[in-house]
Amino acid sequence: MTRTRARVLVSGTVQGVAYRANTRDAARERGLDGWVRNLNDGRVEAVFEGPKEDVEGMIEWCRTGSLAADVQSVESESEEPGSLNGFEVKR
């Protein structure tokens, strides 16, 4: 299994709407490793690592996110896979 890694930046109304918790749950359901956190500028940043199609599916999921979110844009870039283990919400 080839692992891939993506760093994602999500803009819009994505803080205070359970976006991080829903991202964590969706990533765990796919068996992905990584993390998600709020940024000071109002965006959410996430790193997803795992099988390519699962990572791509998670990036697509970010375009909607939690039901209360209003996602304006999703930017992603590929990175070298690391040794992430589990998926967490960073503070």
Residue 43 is a catalytic residue: no
- Which residue of the set 3, 30, 37, 38 is catalytic? 38
Helix (H, G, I), strand (E, B) or coil at 39: coil
Give the burial string for 47-58 (b: 16+ CB within 10 Å, else e).
bbbbeeebbebb
Task: Verify whether residue 20 is a known catalytic residue.
Answer: yes
Alpha helix segments (H runs only) across 5-75: 19-29, 52-62
The residue from 3, 7, 20, 22 that is catalytic is 20
Write out the catalytic residue numbers: 20, 38
